[in-house]
Amino acid sequence: MAALVKYSRALVTFSKNPASLSLLRAGCPRFCSGDVMSASVHDRIEEKRRAALLGGGQRRIDAQHKKGKLTARERVDLLVDPGTFVEYDMFAEHRCSDFGMEKDENKFPGDGVVTGHGRIHGRPVYLFSQDFTVFGGSLSSVHAGKICKIMDQAMLTGVPVIGLNDSGGARIQEGVESLAGYADIFQRNVEASGMVPQISLIMGPCAGGAVYSPALTDFTFMVKDTSYLFITGPDVVKSVTREEVTQEELGGAKTHTTLSGVAHRAFENDIDALLRLREFYNFLPLSNRDPAPIRPTEDPADRLCPVLDHLVPLDSHKPYNMLDVIQALIDEEDFFEIMPKYAKNIVVGFARMNGRTVGIVGNQPKVASGCLDINASVKGARFVRFCDAFNIPLITFVDVPGFLPGTSQEFNGIIRHGAKLLYAYSEATVPKITVITRKAYGGAYDVMASKHVKADINYAWPTAEVAVMGAKGAVSIIFRGDQDQAKKEAEYVEKFANPFPAAIRGFVDDILEPRMTRQRICRDLDLLSTKKESRPWKKHANLPL
Told to check if 20 binds another protein by CB under 8 A, we report no
In the list 3, 23, 37, 259, the residue contacting another protein (rule: CB under 8 A) is 3
Nearer to another protein, 211 or 448 (CB): 448
Query: Half-sphere exposure (CA, 13 Å, Cβ side) for 446?
Result: 11
Q: How many residues bind another protein (CB under 8 A)?
A: 76
Selected range binding another protein among 43-51, 212-220, 290-298, 417-425, rule: CB under 8 A: 290-298
**Beta carbons of 326 and 351 less than 8 angstroms apart:** yes
Selected range binding another protein among 17-25, 145-153, 194-202, 468-476, rule: CB under 8 A: 468-476
Catalytic residue among 55, 110, 208, 402: 208
Minimum separation from the CB atom of position 34 to another protein (A): 38
Query: Half-sphere exposure (CA, 13 Å, Cβ side) for 254?
Result: 6
What's the gap between Cα 79 and its chain centre?
16
CB atoms within 10 A of CB 355: 16
Residues 340-359 that bind another protein (CB under 8 A): 355
Catalytic residue among 57, 158, 194, 443: 443
Print the binding letters for residues 46-75 with another protein: x by CB under 8 A, - otherwise: -------------------x--x-x---x-
Give yes or no: 444 in active site.
yes
Nearer to another protein, 47 or 272 (CB): 272
Minimum separation from the CB atom of position 486 to another protein (A): 8
**Beta carbons of 339 and 346 less than 8 angstroms apart:** no
Minimum separation from the CB atom of position 365 to another protein (A): 7
**Beta carbons of 220 and 214 less than 8 angstroms apart:** yes
**CA–CA separation, 31 vs 38, rounded Å?**
8
Residues 203-242 that bind another protein (CB under 8 A): 224-225
- List the one residue out of 86, 166, 104 whose CA is nearest residue 131: 166
- List the one residue out of 366, 369, 428, 446 whose CA is nearest residue 400: 369
Told to check if 286 binds another protein by CB under 8 A, we report yes
Nearer to another protein, 189 or 357 (CB): 357
Nearer to another protein, 74 or 174 (CB): 74
**Beta carbons of 56 and 133 less than 8 angstroms apart:** yes
Nearer to another protein, 124 or 145 (CB): 124
**Beta carbons of 387 and 393 less than 8 angstroms apart:** yes
- List the one residue out of 110, 107, 143, 147 whose CA is nearest residue 127: 147
Give the CA distances from residue 545 to residues 213, 381, 392, 419, 509, in Å, rounded to whole numbers and listed in that order: 19, 11, 23, 9, 33
**CA–CA separation, 215 vs 206, rounded Å?**
11
Q: Are strands 198-202 and 161-165 parallel, antiparallel or unpaired?
A: parallel
Nearer to another protein, 34 or 122 (CB): 122
**Beta carbons of 179 and 140 less than 8 angstroms apart:** no
CB atoms within 10 A of CB 156: 10
CA 51-54-59 angle, to 5 degrees, is 120
Told to check if 446 binds another protein by CB under 8 A, we report no
Selected range binding another protein among 28-36, 208-216, 269-277, 390-398, rule: CB under 8 A: 269-277
Give yes or no: 208 in active site.
yes
Q: Tell me the sheet residues that pair with 258.
A: none
- List the one residue out of 465, 405, 407 whose CA is nearest residue 436: 465
In the list 169, 181, 393, 470, the residue contacting another protein (rule: CB under 8 A) is 470
Residues 295-324 that bind another protein (CB under 8 A): 295-299, 306-311, 314-319, 324
Residues 145-204 that bind another protein (CB under 8 A): none
Residues 76-135 that bind another protein (CB under 8 A): 77-78, 81-82, 84, 119, 121-124
In the list 231, 271, 301, 528, the residue contacting another protein (rule: CB under 8 A) is 271
In the list 164, 368, 440, 457, the residue contacting another protein (rule: CB under 8 A) is 368
- List the one residue out of 541, 543, 361 whose CA is nearest residue 455: 361
In the list 291, 340, 443, 501, the residue contacting another protein (rule: CB under 8 A) is 291
Residues 508-527 that bind another protein (CB under 8 A): 513, 515
Catalytic residue among 209, 233, 261, 355: 209
Q: Which residues are catalytic?
A: 208-209, 443-444
